Amino acid sequence: MASTKRMLLVTDAAGRVLAAAHPNEGSASKMNVGLAPMPGQEIHEVEVPEALLRLKAGHEFHMALSHAKFQQATGKLEFPEVSYKKVKH
């Protein structure tokens, strides 16, 4: 079974991920940071695959989460099936 980690997500009514944060973790000492949903948005604490958290580039992490959907019925994130094709420049 793949390893997972909990994250906080802000989603819209369609389940699209709008923001994400690690609960109880911050990059600045002595600073508390939180997420607050706007009207029509919700916060969820969900398990995300650790492989997603190991993405080195911020844009890769953003791309993966921006294509994920939160499924209200199961309380889980769904990721579309993707494949990558290496292109020579």
- For residue 10, being part of any structural domain is answered with yes
> Can you give the pLDDT at residue 43?
93
Domains of the chain: total: 1
Tens of pLDDT along the chain (89 residues)? 457 788 889 999 999 999 888 776 656 666 766 778 999 999 999 988 888 878 877 888 888 888 889 898 898 888 888 666 777 87
- For residue 33, being part of any structural domain is answered with no
- For residue 43, being part of any structural domain is answered with yes
Q: Which domain holds residue 70?
A: 4-25+39-75
Q: Residue 6, Cα to own-chain centre: how many angstroms?
A: 10
* Rounded-to-integer distance, Cα 23 and Cα 32, Å: 10
* Rounded-to-integer distance, Cα 54 and Cα 82, Å: 17
- For residue 59, being part of any structural domain is answered with yes
pTM assigned to the model: 0.72
